[in-house]
Amino acid sequence: MSIPRWSFLKAPLGMNRRNELIREASSFRSLRLVKSKSQCKRILQEHGIATSRTFDEVHDFSDMPRLASFPDEFVVKPDGGFGGKGIILLKRQDGHFVDPAGHAYSSKDLRWHIRKILDGDFSGYIAHDIALIEERLYPSPKLQFKDAYGLSDIRVWCFQFQPVMAMLRYPTFKSRGRANLAAGGIGIGIDVATGRPTFIHTKGGLEFKPEGLGMPAAFVMPKWDEMKDIARQCSQIADLRITGVDLILDAGDQVRVLEVNGRPGLEIQNINEDSLLERVLRERWVAAEEGQARRSGEHEPRSLGATVKPSPIEPFPALFDTARGAPLNAPQGVLWKEGTSEAPPSQSGPRD
């Protein structure tokens, strides 16, 4: 059930429809927990998921004297930030700190940046945030192509715990070493089934071929099956039916999770030149058929691009409302009519 390229222009998944799906599929409790990068990371680590190391957490400006104890290389990021805002990668050099683009930060500059994080400048509606001091990771040589400038990451967009779309975000000098598209990074669409690149775009709309980045003609994302499996596990651990899982392949070729997003962005559609709406509807249709087959005893797990057998993973702990006698993270709606295999109507919804 492929989608014509012209149909993508008419029926992308818009923000309103995405928010509607999130309200139906995800509890506020789970969304709130993944909003905190530090809390989410601790829970992932408890389940054996590899993440970056946290050196320190600055909760208050009075903690700033610990600045001297920071390692020689580190990352500063807001705990509740989004869109890559407020993240800086630093290295000590000649008595000050330098980011990948060569911009120097004095101790005073760094303190001011951390103060902005604590004041919630990069975290939307959060009045007070936490500054995380994390390990600075370096990328695998397998993901270093032309003009490599920082740590590439992989966004896997999941629906119903299954990967439905993916992209590689490639940092540049313009993005100051950050893999964020809004900051000037390059987006490379990744085919979910094969791990091969599809399209390459920048935020300004520039499109070019994989060889323009010096990618091998037969390039396949390293450890792609493992990355998809980790994305599924993270979605299950968070108990979120819609997630954007950010992964990296580090210098030792280990897959690590950067964060789990409960409200993933939609620009991945532009990078892949395809519609998330069509893929979400397809996954709902597959899940409905699986539900009917399960009840008839003829269940064979299927998914977009791969056969999947979900692993039995415990969701976030302490999510049971003892007063109501019900789990707090129970879905707040249904995504298809139980007991039917009838495909949902293809509605494009409002455009955003």
Place of tokens 């007991």: 339
The answer to whether the beta carbons of residues 196 and 219 sit under 8 Å apart is yes
Global pTM value:
0.76
Tell which CATH classification among 3.10.20.340, 3.10.310.10, 3.30.470.20, 1.10.3720.10 matches the domain 1-51+137-311: 3.30.470.20
| Phi and psi at residue 166, to the nearest 5° | -150, 160
The whole-number pLDDT of residue 349 equals: 37
Dist. CA 227–CA 181, nearest whole Å: 21
Residue type, 90: L
Q: Give the chain's end-to-end CA distance (angstroms, integer).
A: 25
Dist. CA 8–CA 6, nearest whole Å: 5
Dist. CA 241–CA 255, nearest whole Å: 22
Query: Are both 1-51+137-311 and 53-136 of the same fold?
Result: no
**Is residue 329 very low, low, confident or very high in pLDDT (cuts 50, 70, 90)?**
very low
Which has more pLDDT, 138 or 323?
Answer: 138
The partner residues of 131 in beta bridges, in order of sequence, read 58, 78
pLDDT at residue 79 is higher than 80: yes
In terms of average pLDDT, the best of 7-21, 240-254, 281-295, 309-323 is 240-254
The pLDDT mean for the chain works out to 78
If we measure between CA atoms, which residue out of 102, 123, 119, 103 comes closest to residue 111?
119
The whole-number pLDDT of residue 309 equals: 40
Domain boundaries, the chain: 1-51+137-311, 53-136
Which has more pLDDT, 46 or 320?
Answer: 46
Rg (CA), the chain: 21
Looking at the structure, give the CATH architecture of the domain made up of residues 53-136: 2-Layer Sandwich (3.30)
pLDDT, tens digit (0-9, with 9 covering 90-100), for 280-298: 877 766 665 556 566 566 5
pLDDT at residue 65 is higher than 50: yes
The whole-number pLDDT of residue 196 equals: 94
**Is residue 3 very low, low, confident or very high in pLDDT (cuts 50, 70, 90)?**
very low
pLDDT, tens digit (0-9, with 9 covering 90-100), for 218-266: 899 999 999 999 999 999 999 999 999 999 999 999 999 999 999 998 8
pLDDT at residue 114 is higher than 80: yes
Alpha helices for 66-126 (secondary structure H): 107-118
Contacts of 66 (CB under 8 A, 6+ apart): 56, 58
Flag the least confident range among 62-76, 201-215, 242-256, 335-349: 335-349
Dist. CA 303–CA 337, nearest whole Å: 19
The whole-number pLDDT of residue 208 equals: 62
If we measure between CA atoms, which residue out of 240, 234, 226, 238 comes closest to residue 306?
226
